[in-house]
Amino acid sequence: MGLFDRHAGLLEAYRDVRTTGIDPFQIRMGRVLSPTQAIINGKPTLLVGTNNYFGLTFDPSCMEAAIEAIRAEGTGTTGSRIANGSYTEHVALEQEIAQFYGKKHCMVFTTGYQANLGVISTLADQGDFLLIDADSHASIYDACKMTRAEVVRFKHNDPSSLEARLRRLGDKQGGDKPGNRVVVLEGIYSMLGDSAPLKEFVEVCKKYGAYVLIDEAHSLGALGANGRGLCEEAGVLDDCHFIVGTFSKTLGAIGGYCVSDDPDFDILRVTVRAYMFTASPPPSIVASVRQALRIVKARPELRKQLWDNVATLYDGLARQGFKLGPEHGPVVGVHLPDRETAIGFWRAMLDAGIYVNVAVPPATPNGVSLLRCSLCAVHTSEQLEHMVEVMTGIGRQMGVLPPPKLRAVSGR
């Protein structure tokens, strides 16, 4: 048996995906011009699939901060925090994120993936129980592979499904399963843009003495009066024991973090291997993230712009008859009937100069085929209205939407 034989099924599916002549998973950005525009295949293209929710990747103040940091401290740290020490700026960033949430402790990771991987796999160990949403991100599933805790999935965004599983574990104090219960949730789910019913989840967790860890990767900046995410929006910030987030979406860089009020939180610095055995974030990243966080705090209008844009795209597509994710969100998932239609639709949009993501089974929840659009605060309404028009045209050509109703013209 060859090394790659076990991937035969996946290879076949992947071959199908590439039949349009362009591989959606290997798209090459010839040149990225701004948060919303790039040259792809030699053509100016509107970007509506980059998770760049506030458009801060080209913010002049963030760029300057990064450049200045490189001049002052070089391009990289070349080692981990425990082996090579922390830069003053690492510590400053951690303090600023902790303050942002009003929590006592913060740990910064080199990627958001590592934050989930390291924290979740370390918090729950043998004898403990990890309860995860069925639609959890790969980083959460991978964390589950690394722990000896018992892992149980509950139905996506369904507090009663979580409750049934916590109830089955029995009484934490007197029962035969005394281990810790750690429940892992996400603020906004990355495929369909739907939010967790967090208040209800937190009630269930309280009832059964479970810890709550929430990943705010897609909700940082987007939700809450101060942009702290769903935990703020739902008014349960104090009840979320661990909040994980990323620097690679709203904050326009790369990295991750976890905040908590737990007095012993810092022990994770010498127990989480994804933190201990990898190089720390470089000075430029730390500097641009600190500036981006200042912008999130100082410019709430970006959040309003983002949601206005969400409404323009979501409502525009809904009016034309597209089947969308269940609610407004910075991610708008457009349902298409099958894999071939989704890939053809994606390709037609790229030809028309609009880049979105395509997500097809078995990569998607419930086997749906999706075009995944992510909005940016600096998209213009004209750009998005144009996008709705283009998608409507393609939808009709492909038979996804009914043909336009012919209006009777009354002569005078």
Partner 1 sequence: MDGSRACETLRNKLLFHKESLFLSDIPRPTPGTGEMLLRTAHQLTVENDGIADTATLARGILRADVIREICLHLEPYQADEKPITGETVIAKDLTIDSLAIMDMVMELEDRFDVSIPMSVIAEIHTVDQLADTIQDLRARG
Note the residues at the interface with partner 1 (CB under 8 A). Answer: 6, 10, 24-25, 49-51, 134, 137-138, 141-142, 144-148, 150-155, 161, 164-165, 168-169, 190-191, 331, 357-359, 361-364, 366-367, 372, 374
- Give the nearest distance from C-beta 7 to partner 1 in angstroms: 9
- Give the nearest distance from C-beta 256 to partner 1 in angstroms: 14
Whose Cβ is closer to partner 1: residue 70's or residue 363's?
Answer: 363
What is the CB neighbour count within 10 angstroms for residue 276?
A: 15
Beta carbons of 215 and 185 less than 8 angstroms apart: yes
- Give the nearest distance from C-beta 123 to partner 1 in angstroms: 16
CA–CA separation, 255 and 198 (whole Å): 25
Whose Cβ is closer to partner 1: residue 67's or residue 164's?
Answer: 164
Phi/psi at 16 (5° precision): -60, -45
SS3 content of the chain, % helix, strand, coil (to 5): 45, 15, 40
Whose Cβ is closer to partner 1: residue 73's or residue 150's?
Answer: 150
- Give the nearest distance from C-beta 158 to partner 1 in angstroms: 10
Whose Cβ is closer to partner 1: residue 244's or residue 359's?
Answer: 359
- Give the nearest distance from C-beta 294 to partner 1 in angstroms: 25
Per the listing, tokens 């410019």 go with 299
Whose Cβ is closer to partner 1: residue 153's or residue 199's?
Answer: 153
Phi/psi at 159 (5° precision): -60, -30
Structure tokens at 47: 């970007």
Whose Cβ is closer to partner 1: residue 47's or residue 230's?
Answer: 47
Helices 60-73 and 283-298 meet at what angle, rounded to 10?
Answer: 150
- Give the nearest distance from C-beta 359 to partner 1 in angstroms: 4
CA–CA separation, 41 and 149 (whole Å): 47
| AA letter at 144 | C
CA–CA separation, 367 and 374 (whole Å): 20
